[in-house]
Chain A
Amino acid sequence: MTPALIDRRQLLIAGAAVLASGTLASAHEGTVHVKIEKMAFVPADIEVRAGETIEWTNKDRVAHTATVKGGWEVMIPPGKSATRVVEASDSVDYYCRFHPNMKGRITVVA
C-alpha cells in the first residue's frame, strides 16, 4: 500500500468518525464553536459542559440571536461573534428571535 492510499484510508476513517458522531461538537480549549451560515446554526445540536463557552460566529449579512424562550438571549451581529458561558441549567432549545425558523439545541453533559 502506497503512502497516498494510507492517507486516503485514514481520511475516510476520520470522515466516517465525524459522520458517526453526528452533528455533536467538541470543545477546543473550553470553547464550542457554532457557525451561523445561510440562515442555520451549524452544528444545530451541541453537547457542552457547564463552565465551557459557546461561541456563535455569524457569517451571514443579517443579525441573528440565540434566544431561549422565557430565558436568556445572545445577540450576534452580522459578521461578528458572541459568546455565552454555559450554566448547569443550560440544556435548552434555542432559536433566532429575528428568524424563528433557525433552531438549535444545547445539551449540558456531566
Chain B
Amino acid sequence: MRTSLIAALGAACLLIAAPLAQAQDKPTDPQIAHIAYTAGVIDIEAAKLALTKAQNEEVVAFAQSMQADHEAVNAQALELLEKLDVTPEDNPVSMALTQAAAEKRAELAALEGAAFDAAYLDNEIAYHKQVNEALETVLIPSAENAELKELLETGLKLFQGHQQHAEHVAADLQ
C-alpha cells in the first residue's frame, strides 16, 4: 500500500509525499484539513510579501487576488470544520510545507524589481502545481467526509485557476 501510494505520486509531490510516507499511508480528515489550510496560509503570506515588493501592476493585481481568494477559501474551510466538529491536526506534511515556504519567502525577499516579479510568479506556478498534485493524488482520495471532499474538489478547481492565472501573467511579462 505504501509503495503504491508513493508510486502514484509525481516527483513534484515529493515534499508532500515523503513526510506522509514516514507518518502513515493515508492522512486523516483532521490532517487533510490542516494541510489544506496551511497551503492557503502559505500563499497568503507570499501574496503579502509580493504586495510590499512587486512593481508590475499585473503582478500586484495577481497578488491581491491570491490574498483575497485564499482568505475566502480558508474562512469557508474553518466554517465547515466547525460545523463538522473537526479540529485540524498538525502533521509532518504541514510542517514540511511551512518550512519550505519560509525558506522560499526569504529567498524572494532578497530580490528586487523585475527579478522579484518574475521569481514570485515562477514560484506561484510551481507551488500551485505542487498543491494541485497533492490534492489530486493524496488529499482528495483520502478524505473521508463528503463535505470536506467536496470543498477540496472546489479548492482544486480554484488552485488550478490560480496556476493558469499565474502562467498568463508570467507570459504577459515576457
Contacts and interface: CB of A to CB of B under 8 A. Distances in A.
Interface string A19-46: 0000000000000000000111000000
B64 to A, nearest CB: 10
Interface residues of A, number: 14
A51 interface: no
Interface string A72-110: 000000100000000000000000111111100000000
Contacts of B154: 38-39
Contact of A101 (B68, B69, B160): B160
B158 interface: yes
Interface of B: 65, 68-69, 72-73, 75-76, 154, 157-158, 160-162, 164-165, 168
A61 B158 CA distance: 11
Given A38-B154, A61-B75, A98 B160 contact: no
A71 to B, nearest CB: 16
Chain B contact residues: helix, strand, loop or mixed:
helix
A51 B45 CA distance: 45
A62 interface: yes
Contacts, number: 42
A96 B164 CA distance: 11
A101 B163 CA distance: 9
B160 A62 contact: no
Interface of A: 38-40, 61-63, 78, 96-102
The dominant DSSP class at the A interface is loop
A38 B155 CA distance: 9
Contacts of B65: 63, 98
B157 A63 contact: no
A61 B73 contact: yes
Nearest to B157: A39
A101 B157 CA distance: 8
Contacts of B160: 99, 101
